[in-house]
Structure 1
């Protein structure tokens, strides 16, 4: 599932391409036909993201998209070709268009419904209006492991499996540590690091978490070869030597997601 930086990157792209213009909105597949007809021809005011949710604002109505595991946007030049595959929503602006396929959600909401949805989400490290103390209040009272808490979108919005594994490694925190055993200083370091790492993900379009001294060039090692891209410490590196201490990276299932950590650096 795409992590929060991907949605913020999409919001910026759609803002730059469609913002301030009247756009054509359709649903070639038909599943979003009623919603598309409501905003077709309306001015595209702006796009925003909160966690893993994307919002297209058209005055009092908002198109809400959650990509889920399989959703993707595909950009295309004008004039548009006939849609291929199951296109849930087609958006055409003055110079370019985009097709949405396979989302978990593509629906029309009111502004009040958007507010209610966002109130159910935790703070997003990529939003200027984020309130990290809201997340800390819940984490500091919880017996649940910090690894599980960081993936709970009601507590922290946007971080996924990669950022979860990497930020815990970067701060030497054992993943099974109960939230209430964390110090407030540790939480502040986690939050500030996510703000920086995820903003970098928006800029470059991939997740890089290793410090300069552990880059391939600095260590004389081969770059990481993985479909997720980016240089990381532990994510999807099970049994490979830790880049810092050489200990084999451990993995386990936690709440249906693969967890990765270094038993030595995060002891």
Structure 2
């Protein structure tokens, strides 16, 4: 059986931590030039299937040029995880989402040592990886290597036993790539909530949330200086590349419900019938 080498990406709200994991494989340039849908035969279908397998949404005996029902169902799950309409059709918007997911987790290519004060596309790529690994809390990645990036690199170096200088040299870049690969390839992960990465991600989400303890409350705000409840949840999950709807009621409409006994660190809890009927508060 052709099985995924990474775990199934769970995009869950309500009472389960959202987890999306990726295989660092670039989306082929020719994929996306044809709208793919149930029943079509096209070479691009095999490419799409391979990505869905790597992302953990699909299991097939072998790749095929035929867009089968299994591929359709897997694509629907991917679309819903990315906040898209789950119509099972691979068009421009879904292609854009796939590129966004996969390209962020390509291994870094070392071209020069990076340090505070430098700028460039390689700085932004470094920030994206540090953000995924939970060392950089930033709303939008930039191309400037500032004090926050330096601290994130230093924290990563300290965690992985490297020389702590806040500079991203060849050894640091190599170790970042290994850290990402270990996350993706670990046989312990599987697709369950009990996997080691799900637990690690949940802890990172909780730790990031604690850094904003004491922030001002303002209705309609979603950070980084003030929040309302659902805006805070959306902002924190966004730091890990997980897109959630904006309102409490919308956050309650996606994901998988679990019992209180199954709650884990990093899960989202939606409260109903507080100041109004129905889902009205998240945390």
In proportion to residue count, which structure has more strand? Answer: 1
TM-score category of the 2 structures, normalised to the smaller one: 0.3 to 0.5
Higher relative contact order (CA 8 A, sep 6+): 2
In proportion to residue count, which structure has more helix? Answer: 2
TM-score for both structures, normalised by structure 2: 0.33
